[in-house]
């Protein structure tokens, strides 16, 4: 599941870079598009914050999955040790 958030974060980050580039491009290169640089910078900032939020969720999700996996392995190993002691 965390992989989906990483992909979302990368996509949003790419679009943030594109929006930031549009803020630097002159108006003649943007026919029919909003030429206001502040609008592009605002969109870039919002997309960048969303990308960072998505990456944070991905990292936290990955960490929790790892903790859960190790906890299950420890429980399984403890169960095997208990069963091994009872049999002899």
Regions in the chain scoring below 50 on pLDDT: none
Question: What is the predicted pLDDT for the residue at 82?
Answer: 87
| DSSP code string of 30-58 | -TTS---HHHHHHHHHHHHHHHHHHHHHH
- The model's pTM is 0.75
- Taking the C-alpha atoms of residue 83 and residue 80, their distance in angstroms, rounded to an integer, is 5
Domain that holds residue 64: 2-86
Q: 55-79: per-residue pLDDT in tens?
A: 999 999 999 999 999 999 999 999 9
Q: How many distinct structural domains can be found in the chain?
A: 1
């Amino acid at each position: 599941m965390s992989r989906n958030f990483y992909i979302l974060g990368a996509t949003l980050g790419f679009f943030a870079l594109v929006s930031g580039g549009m803020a630097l491009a002159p108006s003649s290169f943007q026919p029919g598009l909003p030429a206001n640089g502040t609008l592009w910078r605002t969109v870039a900032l919002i997309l960048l914050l969303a990308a960072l939020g998505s990456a944070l969720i991905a990292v936290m999700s990955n960490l929790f999955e790892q903790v859960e996996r190790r906890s299950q392995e420890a429980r399984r190993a403890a169960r095997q040790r208990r069963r091994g002691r009872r049999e002899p």
